[in-house]
Amino acid sequence: MTTGPCSLIDSHGRVLRDLRVSLTDRCNFRCLYCLPETEAAQNFYRGHWGQMPESKPILQQWVPKSSLLSFEEIERAVRVAVDLGIQKIRLTGGEPLLRHDVERLVERLAAIPGILDLAMTTNGFLFPQKARALRQAGLRRLSFSLDSLDRENFRKITGRNGLAAVLESIDLAQQLGFQPVKVNAVIIRGLNDHELEALAEFGRDQQLAMRFIEFMPLDSARAWLKELVVPGRELLERLQRRFSLRPVAEPNPSSTAKRWAFNEGSGEIGIIAPVSEPFCGHCNRIRLTADGKVRTCLFSVIEHDLRSLLRKGASDEQIGKWLEGVVYQKEARHHIGEADFVPASRSMSCIGG
């Protein structure tokens, strides 16, 4: 098998170091920007569309369990990718904590030489049940989703009365020594943009790394509207009016967030602006879906079938060569907001965050 630090290189010269692994497409939340199945979500979109889009929505059919990659298959895929130069692994979903015995997988991955960073993104609802086991298994970093600090608005956005549980999970993660603890908030105009400053203040007071993310067209209803996006520049201007901020130097050139620290207090904020300020030119990510498909871009319309290779007896060397060929085809950029934009072939819950 080809080894070395630079073997996963696309046709645009980008070196891939980051693999996001989805453990399940299922989720116990119904977030408006991902799985807008609740009445509140439908009413929000109707208020902007007048009526819901006529374009055919993505049908939310959960992947059969037999199609999900086993922990052994995930571990093998990760080992091959790490041998080719992947250094960062992030476990995602759906909601990854819905995967039974997820701590066993974390332990297996944490033992792979060459992984410099093993992290997880979660909505936090089930985290207290798994927190200590995950920490002991070798998980070091966590990102939580928190789009509102208002109980009713949280319920409207997520379809779940779960604000208290998420806040408890964030506090617990800090107590257990996860570092850093990041909190992601998708900001949507007319829904939670009025909470921007409150969320930033929460991050400062709780010494968190808050990440504000532009609303992207990844919802299963395909009801995304560009006018609902609060551009990163607007987010920053509002935060600078409220807080004294200083830029934070980012050592990782492939980071998706532009970062600022508070001059007074701890914590920091980051702005991720894939719609208004795309960072495709230095993207170093590749994704593995829960059912074993490799995606070279969050907005790919093509998926590459790794599961079949794993289950048909391909050697590690064959899989490595195949993966190098897939990576070489990585798209130059996405086309959000452009006339030729085609929505991703699956919703965010299926792709993996």
Which domains are seen in the chain, by residue range? 18-351 (3.20.20.70)
Distance CA 217, CA 79 (A): 32
Distance CA 186, CA 229 (A): 10
Distance CA 272, CA 343 (A): 20
**Rounded average pLDDT over 208-218:** 91
Distance CA 316, CA 3 (A): 12
**Rounded average pLDDT over 293-299:** 90
Beta bridge partners of 245: 262
**CA angle (127, 128, 133) in 5-degree steps:** 85
pLDDT per residue as tens digits for the range 177-204: 999 999 999 999 999 999 999 999 999 9
pLDDT per residue as tens digits for the range 59-81: 456 788 899 999 999 999 999 99
Distance CA 261, CA 204 (A): 9
| Of 149-158, 223-232, 250-259, 279-288, the least confident | 250-259
Beta bridge partners of 120: 91, 142
State the pairing for strand pair 181-187/209-214. parallel
User: Is the previous residue joined to 217 through a cis bond, with omega within 30 degrees of 0?
Assistant: no
Query: pTM for this structure?
Result: 0.91
Decide if 157 contacts 192 (C-beta within 8 A): yes
Decide if 330 contacts 14 (C-beta within 8 A): yes
State the CB neighbour count (10 A cutoff) for residue 226: 12
Q: Provide the token pair at 141.
A: 């970093």
pLDDT per residue as tens digits for the range 104-149: 999 999 999 999 999 999 999 999 999 999 999 999 999 999 999 9
| Of 72-86, 139-153, 332-346, the least confident | 332-346
Residue 319: closest CA among 115, 9, 81: 81
